[in-house]
Amino acid sequence: MITVLFAAKPELWPDYAGPLAKSFAEAGLEVTMADAKTPPEQVDYIIYAPNGPVQDFTPYVRTRAVLSLWAGVERIVGNASLTQPLCRMVDPGLTEGMVEWVTGQVLRAHLGLDRQIQHQDGIWRNAEVPPLARERGVSVLGLGALGSACASALAALNFRVTGWSRTPKSIAGVTCLSGDAGLDQALAEAQILVTILPNTPETENLIDSAALARMPRGAVVLNPGRGTLIDDAALLAALDSGHIAQATLDVFRTEPLPAEHPFWAHPRVTVTPHVAADTRPPSAARVIAENIRRDQGGAALLHLVDRQKGY
């Protein structure tokens, strides 16, 4: 019998109980869920979220892996007590959600839908026709599972897609760049910029005043990645000057975004409340069950985090 601890917010358990039981059964796993009376040294796997009840992993001496419900692990990797293997969540449902948010926001910017919605005043304005997608340059920074899926979806819509990552990648229909020179080129071609990078020391404030200045005048910034990727003050200055035409932001340094933050009131900023990619219990449960099944069968864990890289 395998003992699994659910160490996320307790109010999430009703949403996960059924999907986990179903997924464990489909994977052929005999699982008992730990409760408050279960000694930590009897727990084989921990289903984890950083805002859950477990912060000290030292007592979990038998635990074979910590399986995160979150795609981002920046709030986990610095925990010195976490010596067990850590797997981040790479969930088809999470990926689909990110692709839908990104394609929706790119099309909104590309077609100029905001202008049409704002001017419902009986005046027929048809002087400005948007270019075709193949004439619009979209750059995606970050080509992990989420970024690659978004870049492929945008390329399928015929956008001229440039992707950038720290290490070289290859994606059909996407111009893939890497390194500092590649970043400069990706920014220069970004009429619409999508940032889907992890939060690491190397990516913090990557989109600063210098990076924004490299982008074409009138470009749009979309950030569903991490709030730390963008220098808030630099973005506000670029928006005020008109160099950046609009920004749609889903992630922030402080969440919920404080009511007094200037993003809320800025006429060129759209705030969405961290909804671009959320973990969905049915698909996440299948990912967790598959990882436990693999580990029990002697196969390598999927989506294992590199502690030094931070993702």
Q: Which sequence positions are flagged as catalytic? A: 226, 274
C-alpha 120/C-alpha 117 separation (Å) is: 6
Q: In this structure, which amino acid lies at residue 200?
A: T
- Contacts of 104 by beta carbon, 8 Å cutoff, 6+ apart: none
275: left (phi over 0), alpha (psi -120 to 50) or beta: alpha
Based on the number of CB atoms within 10 Å of its own CB, is 232 exposed (0-12), middle (13-18) or buried (19 or more)? middle
The owner of tokens 């984890």 is 48
Residue type, 204: E
Tell me the C-alpha distance between 176 and 155, whole Å: 12
Please confirm whether the linkage preceding 39 is cis (ω < 30° from 0): no
Specify whether the CB–CB gap between 140 and 177 falls below 8 A. Answer: no
Residues in Cβ contact with 279 at an 8 Å cutoff, skipping those fewer than 6 apart:
69, 70, 71, 89, 91, 93, 94
Q: Is the dihedral of CA 228, 229, 231, 232 positive or negative?
A: negative
